[in-house]
Amino acid sequence: MASTSISVETGSMLLVRSQNRPYIDSLLSDHFPNQYSPQSGKSLVEVCQPSSCECSEFLHQKLMQCVLPKTFSGFHLNGYNTHCLLIDCGGRFYASKFGEFVRRHLQDEIPALKFEHNQYEVFLEEMLSRVHIIRVFTDCELLLAFSYSREVIKQHPVSCLMISAMNAFTYLERLRYNSWKSLVSQHSILMGILLRLIADFQLLCIIIMRYSPDIHVLNDSLSTDTEMFHPNNSLGSETRSDDWSKYVTHKIELIDCQHSFVSYIKHESSMKVIKDTRVS
């Protein structure tokens, strides 16, 4: 990752930059009714996905919606015509698979007679250039990525920040910090930087987490072998301390790869179900 340096800009420059990017607050309209939609610059959306599921459809779909134009050659693509920044934790995102996902979508939406093969490739390349990827492989690199993101956003009209597999470094953190208090402090610093970033640039922030059905989390201290078992009551069982989850304003539990999900919003100090598409 390129080295970062402290930069200075005026308040008016920051304001103009944040206002000159498309707002995409309706990106998650399938998951939240209008009155509960996440707000750019204010909301933090957590998406819970089973670790056993290798499907990246949710991530690919939302990235594609961000970068596609609303219309092209008279055909409705219903995109937001903006840029997206993806922080890929653990290197699980494959640009080739995403490119193929977008290609299939374009071929389905635009008849071959209206769009020649070479036009697909030119258009696809332009769309892929709107996705900016920072790969990180440790929790320390994740912290640096948040700082470096500012430089990317200053150069491109980024409207959405997505963080894929943000909890990929859980076990590494457990080895690095010898007490729960130290880990809480680290998370507070991390979230403070993230919240300032999305507020300064009015970003819609989506964090994707991968969870196992049966989850073990540490009890009061990381220095002991004591663990607390959470039974598989639901995919959204609490898997981390309140210092982390208290920042989340919206949550989506992806139950399977067939668009079955449960959506929540923060209501007072707990999460309230807003939409449940599971079949009874």
Residues 86-121 have pLDDT tens digits of 999 999 899 999 999 998 888 888 776 566 667 778
The parts of the chain modelled with pLDDT lower than 50 are 1-4, 214-241
**Per-residue model confidence (pLDDT) at position 186:** 79
pLDDT at residue 217, rounded to an integer: 41
pLDDT of residue 8: 61
Secondary structure (DSSP) of 122-157: HHHHHHHTTEEEEEE-SHHHHHHHHHHHHHHHHHS-
The pTM of the full predicted model, rounded to 2 decimals, is 0.81
Q: Which CATH class is domain 24-92+132-276?
A: alpha beta
* pLDDT value of position 49: 86
The burial of 34, by beta-carbon neighbours within 10 Å (0-12 exposed, 13-18 middle, 19 or more buried), is given as: exposed
Distance CA 260, CA 87 (A): 25
Write out the two tokens for 264. Answer: 């929540």
Whole-number pLDDT of residue 259: 73
Residue 74: what pLDDT? 79
DSSP 113: G
The predicted structure's pLDDT at residue 20: 63
Q: Residue 251's pLDDT is what? A: 95
pLDDT at 242: 52
CB atoms within 10 A of CB 31: 23
